[in-house]
Amino acid sequence: MAHRKENIVMFPFMAQGHIIPFLALALQLENTNKYTITFVNTPLNIKKLKSSLPPDSSIHLLEIPFNSIDHNLPPCTENTDSVPYHLIPDLLNASLSFKSHFRKLITDLIREQDEHKPLAIITGMYYGWCQEIAQELGVFHAIFIGGGGFGFACYYSLWLNLPHRNTDSDEFVLPDFPEASRIHVTQTAEHLRNADGSDSFSVFLKKVLPLWSNADGILVNTVEEFDNIGLTYFRRKLSRPVWPIGPVLLSTGSKAGSGKEFGISAEVCRNWLDSKPLNSVLYVSFGSQNTIAASQMIQLATALEASGKNFIWVVRPPIGFDINSDFKADKWMPEGFERRIKDSGRGLVIHKWAPQIEILSHKSVSAFLSHCGWNSVLESLSHGVPLIAWPLAAEQFYNSKLLEEEIQVCVEVARGKSCEVLHKEIAEKINLVMNETEKGKEMRRKASEVREIIEDAVKNEEKYQGSSVKSMEQFLNVAFMMRENKMNEV
């Protein structure tokens, strides 16, 4: 009789930055050949995932009912990438309606599997309410934070304490996280800056973030050795096991999670990079859901041209336009910019999507000008590429702070979507990092060290297990032990 594989249920929040690390974790667990994965999400997100899973994947995609119209959202709105920004609080609140559907879904799943319960339910950071259902059914529940420890420790503390409301100063300390040192008001997204505790974001987050302390454990997509400050905060704050299991990343060449075609083929991109000298190319991308203002875009384009460096720039329409619509270079770029760049062979301007991991892993890439979303940060550091930070939203400001102040693999060039930034300043930072300056050389050396730390953390050999591999084993062992104890109680 074949040995039954243990089932793990995964349920991320409806956003690409959340779904992608969950999918990477699902594929990682599937590859061990010990687990089956049930991946839960709303119908349109499942449809996207279906087209991007490897053809031989056994991951079971399961739809949870959702109709956006019932929640005052536009039709077919099931992901933050399809919601106008002012409606994101409505999408967040709509996720609270999943509770009864999720209870039924898990109950039905247990019935279908001859009353064999899942080993664990892993949910997104806004779904702490799942603990109640998991507890009722006697199943281990973990929250998976797809971001970093430090970034989310700051995020968690800021939203629950709103410390900027208690001072007239532009700088403040987090009352329960002094190790983070001072935070500047410009390191807060606009909706956090304006939050007073009664706004829609505050009301939602004060409801869901404290639920983390009810979970059986917290998984974090990071590495203990360079993100210990944030992990220590959560261990102290939540009194729960906190397991750093990162980096959990999609493999090279994967389009999984995006459901989109790249704006350029990986082969064309690789051939262009092959033609450039070692460490000579700057990669610029603000991620799948962020963009900058049109005025900032013109300054950045001017800086790239003035720097004289080779570059690849992934462009999306600026703030105020549909981020998924066509890019209008004649409106949003300096006159003749794309033509000049193409003729000189110095740059590639890619519309919408690029094969990011292939780019960052190429030996000609020297630095990454990034919004500091955690997936991008991990992809960059995994290949020893230092960063130039332009954080735009959520916890990206604190990722940038960690990278610059603690890990020293980054310099910040701008902050936020409305800051005034001049092309001279951007060009100066690009040259500081990419030229043979003391700072540039030191950043590359540190980035190379971090790459080795990451390689060590995920090493899984007969006589040696890295810290992230050990954390993953501990999590699975604790889930098994909990189930055995529950069975012995019966």
The crossing angle, in degrees rounded to 10, of helices 374-382 and 438-457 is 90
- What local confidence, expressed as pLDDT, does residue 258 receive? 47
Peptide bond between residue 54 and the one before it cis (omega within 30 degrees of 0): no
Please report where in the chains the tokens 């409301």 appear, as a residue. 165
- What local confidence, expressed as pLDDT, does residue 256 receive? 52
Span 97-119, pLDDT tens digits: 999 999 999 999 999 988 899 99
- Kind of pairing between the strands at 347-351 and 120-123: unpaired
- What local confidence, expressed as pLDDT, does residue 52 receive? 83
| Regions of the chain short of the pLDDT cut 50 | 1, 257-259
Cross-strand pairs, 145: 220
Residue 339 gets the label, from left (phi > 0), alpha (psi -120 to 50) or beta, of: alpha
- What local confidence, expressed as pLDDT, does residue 195 receive? 97
Q: Could you tell me which of 468, 404, 488 has the C-alpha nearest to residue 439?
A: 404
Distance CA 215, CA 73 (A): 30
The SS3 assignment for 484 reads helix
Count of beta carbons in the 10 Å neighbourhood of residue 211? 17
- What local confidence, expressed as pLDDT, does residue 381 receive? 98
Distance CA 9, CA 141 (A): 10
**Residue 349 is which amino acid?**
V
Give φ, ψ of 218 to 5 degrees: -125, 125
Span 61-77, pLDDT tens digits: 999 999 999 999 999 99
Q: Could you tell me which of 478, 7, 41, 6 has the C-alpha nearest to residue 218?
A: 478
Neighbouring C-alpha atoms within 13 Å toward the C-beta of 312 = 30
Give φ, ψ of 156 to 5 degrees: -60, -50
- What local confidence, expressed as pLDDT, does residue 261 receive? 63
- What local confidence, expressed as pLDDT, does residue 1 receive? 41
Kindly tell me the burial class for residue 70, based on how many C-beta atoms sit within 10 Å of its own C-beta (0-12, 13-18, 19 or more).
exposed
Distance CA 316, CA 349 (A): 10
Cα 118 → chain centroid: 26
- What local confidence, expressed as pLDDT, does residue 329 receive? 87
Cα 133 → chain centroid: 26
What is the torsional sign of CA 341, 342, 346, 347?
positive
Structural contact between residues 102 and 124, judged by C-beta atoms closer than 8 angstroms: no
